[in-house]
Amino acid sequence: MASNATDEIAFDFRPYFILYKDGHVDRLTENDFVPPSLNPEGVSSKDVAIIPELGVSARLFLPKLDAGDPHRKLTILVYFHGGGFCFVSAFCSLVHGYLTSIVTEANVIAVSIDFRRFPEHTLPAAYDDCWAALQWVASHSAGEAEPWLSEHGDFDRITIIGDSAGGNIVHNMAMRAGREEVGRGVKLDGAIFGHPYFCGAEAVGDEVKYPEKKAQGDYIWMLTNPTTVGLDDPQINPIAVGGPSLSGLGCARVLLCVAGNDILRDRGLLYYERLRSSGWKGTVELLESEGEEHVFHLYNPTRENARIIMPHIVSFLN
């Protein structure tokens, strides 16, 4: 029996998704959904729509408020999840657990952004969604509708954070914040990069020794952004010749985390050195986890090196 278009696979990216020739997608990890809740440490969470017509939404996390000072203003942490612009969501167990831990430890408000992903949507959709979501957060400085933000958020202390592709989004949001207004009178305070996903046409560091690993990262970029100018597009290679200077980074402080056994480590180190020498007026801290793999702190949060990262994040936020 001949197969029809509903059965024919156009792109097989198991274990994450399968794209069929008729355009429909089977997302194989979407059953990993954790509902918002009140956890034993007193962290509350809820889901909100930001741009309903595009499906852009967020999960908000509010720590247990101090009974003696319930109106104290808290740092606002905006999180962009990783997953190669293809998979993971703001509502999966991995992200929910990680943000709950940060909110518990740092006593901050967190906003975890759920943006459009490949293959249903190609870049720059994710960048556009995350910028719109950041502006939505900033709009609450004027007392917009979400009370967790408008009543408890400190809009002088907004920090963006992301891991892997989310770290790439952090860079692009911070650069855009250096060119455009996030919100009236609102500026980014900090940016935390967790093993950011960068690449480039010319191999650097361990990319020379492991060309197949480099090729995987290169392929994801070219696949998810069909209109890109290539691997030296400044959105994926921030230190490309002719790209905008990192002196335009629109935040005052940076925490950059890299892992010793991560193929992306060397690009993170180059970013760190280029930022320091760019003329940017902020302060940058580098944290390297020796002997560890890419985003190990998400998948193995009880590891000793993962427990070292958390106090650095908490200190940075406070």
Q: Does residue 125 contact residue 65 with C-beta atoms inside 8 Å?
A: no
Task: Check if 294 is active-site.
Answer: yes
Task: Check if 164 is active-site.
Answer: yes
Using the structure block, give the residue that is written with the tokens 């990216």: 13
Q: Does residue 196 contact residue 114 with C-beta atoms inside 8 Å?
A: no
Question: Any alpha helices (H) in the chain, and if so which ranges?
Answer: 93-106, 125-139, 147-152, 165-179, 206-209, 211-224, 265-277, 296-299, 304-317
Q: How many CB atoms lie within 10 A of CB 223?
A: 17
Among candidate residues 141, 164, 195, 218, the one labeled active-site is: 164
Q: Of 265, 207, 195, 262, nearest to 231 (Cα)?
A: 207
What separation in angstroms does the CA of 72 have from each of 27, 78, 145, 180? 41, 19, 19, 29
Among candidate residues 163, 262, 289, 297, the one labeled active-site is: 262
Using the structure block, give the residue that is written with the tokens 């720590």: 63
User: Could you tell me how many residues make up the chain?
Assistant: 318
Q: Of 58, 165, 43, nearest to 111 (Cα)?
A: 58
Among candidate residues 96, 171, 195, 294, the one labeled active-site is: 294
Q: Of 155, 137, 136, nearest to 73 (Cα)?
A: 155
Question: What one-character DSSP code corresponds to residue 188?
Answer: E
Report phi then psi at 136, rounded to 5.
Answer: -60, -45
Q: How many helices (H) and strands (E) does the chain have?
A: 9, 11
Q: Which residues contact 162 (CB under 8 A, 6 or more apart)?
A: 79, 80, 81, 82, 168, 169, 170, 192, 193, 194, 196
Report phi then psi at 50, rounded to 5.
Answer: -105, -55
Task: Check if 163 is active-site.
Answer: no
Catalytic residues: 164, 262, 294
